[in-house]
Every structure is written in C-alpha cells, then in structure tokens.
Amino acid sequence: MTVHELQQEIIRLKKEKDICILAHSYQTREITEIADLTGDSFQLSVQAQKARQSTVIMCGVRFMAETVKLLSPEKKVLLANPTAGCPMAEQMDKDMITAVKQKYPDYTVVAYINTTTELKTVCDVCVTSSSAVKIVKALPNKNILFIPDCNLGGYVGKQVPEKNIKLLQGGCPIHARITEREALNAKAAHPNALLLVHPECTEGVVKHADFVGSTSAIMKFAEQSDAEEFIIGTEIAIGQHLSYTCPDKRFYSLSKELICPNMKATSLSDVYHAVCGDGGEVIELDAEVAAKARVCIDRMIELG
Ligand code: 13P
Ligand code: SF4
C-alpha cells in the first residue's frame, strides 16, 4: 500500500469504528493529515473531552494518552505506539514531591502536564506551555513550587514577578540542550529571520527570542506574521508543517538536534494497526488514582 492508500484506509476505518484520532503537532505530516485534531498539549486535552466518538487514539506520548483517559474515563483510549514516553515525565515521582512538599507546606504545587498520572495525585494544578503564565497568575497563593521543567518554570517566573516560584532541576532533554551560542549563530546566519522558541529552552536561548510560545502558538505567530523568514526553536516537525501552510515563507531549524525520538516513534502503520484493533496500547488507570489526578487537570481547564 502507498502512504496515500494507507491514509485512505485509516480514514475509512475510523469512521466505520467511531474512532477519533488526536495528533500532537510534533507528529509527522502523514499522521496529522489523517487526524481529527492536531494541536498543542492544552488543545488536545480540551478537545479530547469534547470528542463524541467512543474511542480515541492518541498519536503523541504516554502522558497525553493518560490525560485523555483521565478526562474521558468512559472512552476507550489507545496510545498508538506504546513505546512513546516523555523522558521529562519520568524525572520526578510521587515520593520525591511528597518529601519536597513536607519541606514547603505553604507552597501550591504546579505540575507541567508532562508528568505521570501518579505524580499528578499530589499536585494542586496542572499547566501546559500555553496556559502556564495565565494559570500561575490566577492562583491565589504567592508561593509556587513549579515542577518538573525548570526552564518553563523560570520563564513563568519572569512573566509573573509577583509570585515566589521555587524550581527543581528537571526539563526536556531535547529543548534544554540547545545553547545560547547556537541561537546567536542562527541569528547571524539568518539576520532577517525572527527567532521563535518554546519555553522549554534555556533562559540563554529564550532571551534572544522574538516570540516565546507553545507549539501551536509558534505556528499561529508564524502564519500571521508579516515577516518572511523564521528560525524555529522547537521540534523539527513545526518548521516542516509551517513550510506546507506558508509556502511563501522560509523556516530554519534552530538546531538539527531538535528531534524528539519519542514523538517520532509513532508511524502511520502504528496508527493503522491501532485503528484495526491489533496494535497500540489501551490505557487503563486505577480508578482511585485517576480520580485524584483528574482534580488538577480539571483545575487547569477551568483556569486556562
Ligand atoms: P506543547 O505544550 O507546546 O504542546 O508542548 C508539549 C511538549 O512536549 C513540548 O516538548
Ligand atoms: Fe518530552 Fe521534550 Fe519530547 Fe516534548 S520534546 S515529548 S518534553 S522529551
């Protein structure tokens, strides 16, 4: 089967079997083309709740599929490729954060959505990269413990100086390895280009950016901007999608290293097998754990 034939077969089967396919914007174009919705972590969480289909297939990483299951426990939720995890989500666990909370009992614990379901049970509210500033601003407590991404947390701290934000050492290994020198070199190589970066990048990179935002916010900014050239400081897929939607503009990746192997683990063939019913992993969550974890996801949607 050609890629096009496989896509047509997936589209036919998903209609027949009442399946909704969600794809994070870091997925390849052949997957986003057959998805019912493509977006950033926040958009996927909100849309998953609204999906009318009885089955949802997540093309992304594990915490995203778990978030869908938390919000729609009555739905069958599959992770298209069971090996796709987010290394940042595994950096901190429930016991570690419970111990930190004992040291800082008067802090509100804000968890980036890139965390495990179990860890979310001891957190107060979740945020995504697109909602973090708004939510932290809206919280009544001045003292915030922000986990696990110290780069995103540091960025939020700069936007919300009235809060006292405590950070721990965690973050995205893909974004965090981009250096300030690379940002300066890219700007020198493309002096007319705007630098658009994800807040998971280090402060040294973010300070040279013309725009900082989530994956979807970066795409929207580039699509609406009058500028013609952009350096994209997030996973390589974003520049590739933008090259299709804005054929008259030019997009350069900030670094060739900006490839997330976990986000790239899902293939069109994985999606086909998940739709057929002989692939993917059905997400099962303990009911008590899920009920506790859901509280901070609901709060995120309410405040975001
Ligand atoms: P977004 O919130 O922008 O979708 O980012 C998710 C992610 O994993 C970025 O690396
Ligand atoms: Fe996790 Fe980073 Fe990959 Fe996003 S890019 S899924 S934060 S490892």
Q: In this predicted model, what pLDDT tens digit does every residue of 264-304 receive, in sequence order?
A: 999 999 999 999 999 999 999 999 999 999 999 999 999 98
Query: What whole-number percentage of the chain has pLDDT above 90?
Result: 96
With cut-offs at 50, 70 and 90, classify the pLDDT of residue 41.
Answer: confident
41-50 and 287-303 helices cross at what angle (nearest 10)? Answer: 110
Please name the residues in contact with 276: beta carbons below 8 A apart, sequence gap of 6 or more.
13
Does the beta carbon of 128 sit less than 6 angstroms from any atom of ligand 1?
A: yes
Return the ligand number nearest the Cα of 128.
1
Mutate which of 42, 175, 257 for ligand 2 pocket (most atoms within 8 A of beta carbon): 175
Does the beta carbon of 131 sit less than 6 angstroms from any atom of ligand 1?
A: no
Nearest ligand 2 atom to alpha carbon 262: 3
183 or 51, which is more confident?
A: 183
Residue holding tokens 């495990």? 116
CA of residue 247 relative to chain centroid, distance? 25
Mean pLDDT of the 210-216 span: 96
Does the beta carbon of 235 sit less than 6 angstroms from any atom of ligand 2?
A: yes
Q: Which residues pair with 37 in a beta bridge?
A: 22
Q: How is the chain split into domains, by residue range? A: 3-85+263-284, 94-173+290-303, 178-253
Query: What whole-number percentage of the chain has pLDDT above 70?
Result: 100
Q: Which residue type occupies 277?
A: G
Does the beta carbon of 172 sit less than 6 angstroms from any atom of ligand 2?
A: yes
CATH number of 178-253: 3.40.50.10800
Does the beta carbon of 270 sit less than 6 angstroms from any atom of ligand 1?
A: no
pLDDT in tens, 63-120: 999 999 999 999 999 999 999 999 999 999 999 999 999 999 999 999 999 999 999 9
Does the beta carbon of 129 sit less than 6 angstroms from any atom of ligand 1?
A: yes
Note the pLDDT of residue 304: 87
Q: pTM value?
A: 0.95
Is the pLDDT assigned to residue 182 strictly greater than 90? Answer: yes
CATH H-level, domain 94-173+290-303: superfamily? NadA-like (3.40.50.10800)
Does the beta carbon of 41 sit less than 6 angstroms from any atom of ligand 1?
A: yes
Nearest ligand 1 atom to alpha carbon 216: 3
Mutate which of 25, 44, 86, 200 for ligand 1 pocket (most atoms within 8 A of beta carbon): 200
Mean pLDDT of the 250-267 span: 97
Q: CA 35, CA 24: separation in Å to the nearest integer?
A: 9
Is the pLDDT assigned to residue 228 strictly greater than 90? Answer: yes
Are residues 104 and 166 in contact, defined by beta-carbon separation less than 8 angstroms? Answer: yes
Note the pLDDT of residue 25: 96
Residue ID of nearest Cα to ligand 1 atom 4: 40
Beta 55-59 vs 37-39: how paired, if at all?
unpaired
- Listed in order, strand segments (DSSP E) in 104-193 are 108-112, 125-127, 143-147, 164-167
CA angle 207, 212, 215 (to 5 degrees): 140
Beta 229-233 vs 194-197: how paired, if at all?
parallel
Q: Which residues pair with 111 in a beta bridge?
A: 126, 147
CATH number of 3-85+263-284: 3.40.50.10800
